[in-house]
Amino acid sequence: MNVLGLEARQVDNSPGQKPILYLEGVSVSFDGFKALNNLSLYIDTGELRCLIGPNGAGKTTLMDVITGKTKPDSGSVYFGQTLDLLKMDEPAIAEAGICRKFQKPSVFEMLSVFENLELALATHKGVWATLFAKLNNHQRERIEQVLETIGLTEHRSQLAGILSHGQKQWLEIGMLLMQEPKVMLVDEPVAGMTQQEVERTAQLLLSLQGERSIIVVEHDMEFVRSIAQHRVTVLHEGSVLTEGTMEEVQNDPRVKQVYLGD
């Protein structure tokens, strides 16, 4: 158990685990410049994968391809065994269960923590209709569960605007969880957090693996070390430079040369 009262889930890393995301030979060019260059990446079901690499390596572009914001010039991108993401637009990909958390927290500051989670339940009703609609038992329980997962049960009635930066980030992760995503893409979650918030965020993400597949893009190597129990992928110049455990990656001379230094 950790300070959030969560148990970090063990992931089945056994061979034969089916990938939930397949990217093969993906290239993206901007005015002739290859932001992604014949990139292949496979993410297993339930895996927590860290994606690291120097500025400009293509991490954001890769996330944009997975969520449908950017369509590649070539390559294939599959979700599960059958869903061809290149044939789907952004809303359809989100609907299928791939969600993204951007670096800056984006919560409704004038609403309470509970109301923010309530709104995240919203499908097509709109803000006010959702807030005035009566929650059913299942929805209420789901909000309670998520409040507990993100460690904000005691802050449920507080306005989101007065939460700390870390708490806002956890609330936003909670809002994504309300939609029960299968894959979560999380961009630099600990930028600007205190040390204690960084540790809590690590525990939160570790508690979600197994149930969800998560890709975390992060430059904070101490944080990456604390959550990388499986494979870390290093991107460089639009391709996968190497993949391995954190230890393997850190000791790889090519990684030292282009990213981590000596």
Ligand X SMILES: Nc1ncnc2c1ncn2[C@@H]1O[C@H](COP(=O)(O)OP(=O)(O)OP(=O)(O)O)[C@@H](O)[C@H]1O
- Give the nearest distance from C-beta 9 to ligand X in angstroms: 28
CA distances, 152 to each of 98, 135, 230 (Å):
24, 19, 28
Residue 174 sits at φ, ψ, to 5 deg, of -60, -40
* CB closer to ligand X, 104 vs 140: 104
Least distance to ligand X, CB of residue 15, Å: 30
CB of 229 to ligand X, least distance (A): 23
Asked whether 65 and 77 are in contact (CB, 8 A), the reply is yes
Q: Which CB, 58 or 181, lies closer to ligand X?
A: 58
Burial of 37 (0-12, 13-18, 19+ CB in 10 A): middle
Give whichever of 175 and 190 is closer to ligand X, judged by the CB atom. Answer: 190
Q: Least distance (Å) from ligand X to the CB of residue 85?
A: 17
> What b/e sequence results for 200-214 when a residue is b if at least 16 CB atoms lie within 10 Å of its CB, and e otherwise?
bbbbbbbbbbbebbb
Q: How far apart are CA 185 and CA 59, in angstroms?
A: 11
For residue 55, with 0-12 CB atoms within 10 Å meaning exposed, 13-18 middle and 19 or more buried, which class applies? Answer: exposed
Q: What whole-number distance in Å separates Cα of residue 133 and Cα of residue 103?
A: 31
CA dist 29 and 37 (Å) reads: 8
Nearer to ligand X, 69 or 182 (CB): 69
CB of 71 to ligand X, least distance (A): 12
DSSP string for residues in 107-133:
--TTSBHHHHHHHHT-SSS-HHHHHHS
Distance in Å, CB of 241 to ligand X, minimum: 12
Q: Which residues bind ligand X (CB under 6 A)?
A: 30, 35, 53, 55-61
Kindly state the tokens that stand for 5.
């009262």
Between residues 54 and 80, which has the closer beta carbon with respect to ligand X? 54
> Among residues 55 and 195, whose Cβ is nearest to ligand X?
55
Residue 126 or 192: which CB sits closer to ligand X?
A: 192
Distance CA 51, CA 235 (A): 7
Nearest approach, Cβ of 72 to ligand X (angstroms)? 12
